[in-house]
With several copies, the nearest count.
Chain A
């Protein structure tokens, strides 16, 4: 199905419901779908589980969602930063559940969800606090932890450009979590700088095939 083209970010996120699990792409500001996050703030959905590398910074985006207690749980690798004050406060108040995952396991668990893998043995985290309570196994003398897939209801992603079928290309390190989150969510909502006509993207260079994209919205367009 060719993706729905939303006129605004608000329209793009309108069907995100209370209690949804929402993946949010980006690493630092690169690839962060800021307009979609703002729209999620405005749409009112609450009791969310958010999957992101971080847990919000300063007074914008995900940090505001956390400040307003719209997020019940964060699954991330690096919540604490110099400007993660809203996360810090909600977490210390016991009003926000945290599942801390090593960054590579986070990425691999997201990929596993998209790839129909039921679980995988990873060496990362073996022998550490973050493997406590998890199944472990020594394979060929090396320790591994069993990690499970992370699925989501929605993914909010920023790409550079889409065609009308939803094929995506990204830009530099802004690619980061976008391609794997698109595969792991039931619905992927993607903000792009421009939507080009079908056939304009070289099939060899498509990074996310349109099969993984449900909604497109054009934002800005100055990249």
Chain B
């Protein structure tokens, strides 16, 4: 699950959201138990193959979650953490909220994929609260998800609308979890984080050198 031997690659164009989701999906080891956060990470499920045999966890109490339900399959008692009706796969199981979060907190899930406002080079994650004055905070399962799985991966845009890097030296947004992120997927690059070192696995529509210039953290190019 950690940084296997990675070879640096580069492509001319930035990744689309589907391309990002497809890469994340391909990186998930066969047979893994995975929680996909709300938003972009949910899209990863569309690119998992049956051969991978990945089991999806939803923190509202289910393993073996299937695709989004449509038409007659919609059942208000069967929803995911984003409150979207989903389906049940053969071999599924249901459990209560304490057992569900115990499963997560106890380190039983292999991978959790989350969105983020910011990630630090040390793997600190900010994704729950803008910290803006007057903003009403809501945390949900964000903090549990951040620190629970064996590996926490982030999918995010690398830059804010105003062009600032969301991969930062130190978080300016409120912390969700410390030192928990080990991989970041963005449209412009994919990063591996380990022991304070940020390794660039690939760049997309940008060269390693350009990236190194724009980001406020020291980058290592994968071999």
Contacts and interface: CB of A to CB of B under 8 A. Distances in A.
Q: Do chains A and B touch in the complex (CB under 8 A)?
A: yes
B54 to A, nearest CB: 10
B138 A81 contact: yes
Contact of A77 (B31, B58, B64, B140): B140
Interface stretch (B6-14, B102-110, B199-207): B102-110
Interface string A75-109: 00111110000011001100000001111110110
A103 B95 contact: no
Contact of B105 (A92, A124, A207): A124
A100 B139 contact: yes
B147 A163 contact: no
B178 A126 contact: yes
A222 to B, nearest CB: 11
B94 A206 contact: yes
A102 B139 contact: yes
Contacts of B33: 1, 211
A98 B177 CA distance: 22
A143 B83 CA distance: 31
B63 A125 contact: no
Contacts of A79: 136-138
Contact of A163 (B60, B91, B138): B91
Contacts of A210: 55, 63, 91, 93
Contacts of A103: 59, 97, 101, 139-141, 144
Contacts of B104: 104, 116
Interface residues of A, number: 69
Contact of B31 (A1, A81, A177): A1
Given A163-B91, A172-B94, A102 B55 contact: no
Given A78-B139, A80-B138, A165-B91, A173 B61 contact: yes
B62 A115 contact: no
Nearest to B135: A80
Contact of B94 (A81, A199, A203): A203
Contacts of B75: 172
Given A77-B140, A176-B61, A204 B97 contact: no
B37 interface: no
Given A211-B63, A211-B108, A199 B139 contact: no
B88 interface: yes
Which among B55, B97, B101 has the highest number of chain A CB atoms within 10 Å? B97
A100 B138 contact: yes
B138 A175 contact: no
A112 B137 CA distance: 25
Contacts of A81: 138
**Nearest 3 CB-CB pairs, A to B?**
A104-B101, A199-B90, A1-B31
13 contacts: A27-B97, A81-B138, A104-B59, A104-B104, A105-B143, A116-B102, A125-B143, A126-B178, A128-B174, A163-B91, A167-B91, A177-B96, A201-B91
